[in-house]
Amino acid sequence: MRVLVVGAGLTGGACAALLRGAARARLAVWEKARGAGGRMGTSRGARDPACTADLGAQYVTLEAGRAGPRGSLSEELLSHGILEPLRAPVEGMVVKEGSCNYVAPQGISSIVKYYLKQSAGADVFYEQHVTHISLRDGKWEVSRKTGPPEQFDIVILTMPVPQILQLQGDIVNIISESQKQQLESASYSSRYALGLFYEAGTRIDVPWAAQYITESPEIGPSVVVHTTVTFGSEHLDSDLAEVQQLILSHLEEVVPSLPQPASIKCQKWRYSQVTKAVPNCQGQMILHTQPLLICGGDGFTRSNFDGCIDSAVSLAEAVKSHLQQF
Q: Which domains does the chain have, with CATH numbers?
A: 2-187+275-323 (3.50.50.60), 188-274 (3.90.660.10)
Angle 311-38-113 from CA coordinates, rounded to 5°: 85
Query: How far, in Å, CA of 221 to CA of 206, rounded?
Result: 12
Query: How far, in Å, CA of 177 to CA of 183, rounded?
Result: 10
Could you list the pLDDT tens digit for every one of the 326 residues in the chain? 999 999 999 999 999 999 987 777 899 999 999 999 999 999 999 988 889 999 999 999 988 777 788 888 999 999 999 999 999 888 988 888 888 999 999 999 999 999 999 998 899 999 999 999 999 999 999 999 999 999 999 999 999 999 999 999 999 999 999 999 999 999 999 999 999 999 988 988 888 888 887 745 566 788 999 999 899 999 999 999 999 999 999 999 988 988 999 999 999 999 999 999 999 998 999 999 999 999 999 999 999 999 999 999 999 999 999 998 87
Query: How far, in Å, CA of 66 to CA of 87, rounded?
Result: 22
Question: Quick one: pLDDT at residue 220?
Answer: 76
Question: Quick one: pLDDT at residue 120?
Answer: 80
Question: Quick one: pLDDT at residue 69?
Answer: 81
Is the bond preceding residue 291 a cis peptide, omega within 30 degrees? Answer: yes
Question: Quick one: pLDDT at residue 44?
Answer: 92
Question: Quick one: pLDDT at residue 219?
Answer: 67
Which of these, 229, 250, 4, lies nearest to 125 by C-alpha position? 4
